[in-house]
Structure 1
C-alpha cells in the first residue's frame, strides 16, 4: 500500500512542474495563471489569486491578508504539505 501512495504522490508533484517561462504580472509579480495541477491540490482556505513561485526553494507562496499584517505564506495541499515544483522535490530528496 505504501509504494502505491508514494507513486501517487510523485505523480501529483510531477503535475506541479512549472515551465521556466511561466507568465507573471510585471506590476505585482504574482503568477497570471496558477497551473491546473497546483489549483487542484491546494487547500481551499488559501488565496489562489495572488501566488508566486519562489526560485530560492521552488515552492509556491500566496499572499495572506490577516487582521494585523499581510504576509507571504507557503501554499499547502489539503494534507498540509507545501506545494513545490518537481525540481524542488528532487533537490530535497538528494540532500
Structure 2
C-alpha cells in the first residue's frame, strides 16, 4: 500500500512539472496589422509576406509570417540592407 502511494505521488509531481507556471505566452501580438505604415512599406525588402505582419511585444520590431516547407514561423521584417524594421528605438 505504501509503495503505490509513492508511485501515485510521484506521478502527480511529474505531471505538475510539465505545466507552465510562468504563463509565458507568445511574445508577438496576436493580431496582424491591418494596414502597414507607408514608411514600413517603403523600407521593406521584397520576398517578405506583408499581408501577415505583427509587432514583437518584446523589442517593438516588425515580424512577418514565413511559410516554409516544414513549418510556419515569424521572422524579422528587414530592409533591403538587412536591418530589422522597428517601431521604437532600442534601449541600450
TM bin, normalised by shorter chain, reads 0.5 to 0.7
| 2:25 aligned residue | none
| Runs of 4+, deviation exceeding 2 Å | none
Using the alignment, how far apart are the partners of 1:53 and 1:68 within structure 2?
24
| 2:89 aligned residue | 88
Q: 2:39 aligns with which of 37, 40, 46?
A: 37
| Larger Rg over CA atoms | 2
| 2:8 aligned residue | none
Is there any run of 5+ residues in structure 1 with no aligned partner, and where?
1-27
The answer to which structure has the higher helix fraction is: 1
> Secondary structure of 2:63's partner?
strand
TM-score normalized by the length of structure 1? 0.62
Partner deviation per Cα, 1:62-86 (whole Å, 9 max, x = no partner): 000011110000000000000012x
Corresponding pairs, count = 63
Indicate yes or no: 2:78 matched with 1:76. yes
Using the alignment, how far apart are the partners of 2:72 and 2:89 within structure 1?
26
Is there any run of 5+ residues in structure 2 with no aligned partner, and where?
1-29
Using the alignment, how far apart are the partners of 1:76 and 1:31 within structure 2?
16
RMSD over aligned CA atoms reads 1.2
